[in-house]
Amino acid sequence: MSALPRISCVILCHNYGRYLDRAITSCLEQEPGNFVLHEVIVIDDGSSDETEEVCLRREGDVKVIRRNQKGFGQSLTDAFRLSTGDWVAPLDADDWFHPSKLRTCAEAMTGGTLFIEHWENVVDSDGNPMLKEPHPGGNTSTLVIHRDAALSLLPANNEIFFHALREAGRGIALRDPLTFYRVHPRSMTDRSTPGVSQDYRADVCIALSDRLRAMYAIPPAWASTRQLRRISWHFRALASGHRVESAMQREERVSAMLLIPGMLIGTLRAHGPIAPWLRSLSSTIAGRPLVRLTANQERQAHS
């Protein structure tokens, strides 16, 4: 009989002390299942609020890594480098897990699966529901990733890096809403300034594409060189799509049109579906961005 998978829950925190206790409790109070809760780690990335106080109160329950601020990318990278479980469940400190998260995800840790994502419940700053229905995931708190596979993609500057495992056919998507994703005024990502979020995502996709290209000569165990080429072009096409949307949000329609051919080339070389390109093309022709921004736009899930 094979050993139960050991899962490390790693909480990423920068000045989210007011939410941290609930995040910790959600990791520790998971329903039993075919897994071992190997450890709960809090990475305090140079917080200047009550985070240290919360960590001191919970020091018997969690391992705390406290250091000067290094940014989200380094914290995410350290979540995998410093943990020791077979699987890692990262958690932004302003979110929290459903009690059945690890039990449900453990049931999907079969065959060649290396990447698990699931849906989420979107809540406001007080934890009250904001949407009537669950929302698709893909962001940090909705992932559980095999640690060895993740190590091959480090350093990562965003959770999108691990989406490469899904594109390699090594992922599974669950429709269960197993995370509560909190929307609040101090969310990390700026989604109200036109183009900012899209430009950031484009930069991440290009960085990931470049990382995959650097792996061609010695491919990891989870993908062949041919797969890496296809996936690299997939993220190149995604980057172009984000740039198109950024330009449209900034009302730079000509710039958006100039990006459309590159997006098509990337899509064709990735052997990907043409629908996203058609949506971007229609957006530029109509002169309307796909995402409408407002001054108080709600935080959305990472794609």
pLDDT digits (tens, 9 = 90+) for 150-168: 999 999 999 999 999 999 9
Q: 253-269 and 275-286 are packed helices; what angle lies between their axes, rounded to 10 degrees?
A: 170
Percent of the chain with pLDDT over 70: 94
Q: Identity (one letter) of the amino acid at 53?
A: E
Convert the pLDDT of each residue in 253-302 to its tens digit.
999 999 999 999 999 999 999 999 999 999 999 999 998 765 444 343 33
Q: How many CA atoms lie within 13 A of 142 on its CB side?
A: 30
Kindly report the pTM of this predicted structure.
0.92
Residue 182, Cβ neighbours under 10 Å: how many? 26
Convert the pLDDT of each residue in 190-243 to its tens digit.
667 899 999 999 999 999 999 999 999 999 999 999 999 999 999 999 999 999
Query: 82 CB contacts (<8 Å, ≥6 apart)?
Result: 10, 41, 43, 65
Strand intervals (E) in 17-138: 36-45, 63-67, 87-92, 96-97, 115-123
Q: So what's the pLDDT on residue 296?
A: 42
Burial of 259 from C-beta contacts in 10 A (0-12 / 13-18 / 19+): buried
- Pairing state between β 171-182 and 36-45: unpaired
Q: So what's the pLDDT on residue 188?
A: 58
**How far apart, in whole angstroms, are the C-alpha atoms of residue 221 and residue 208?**
18
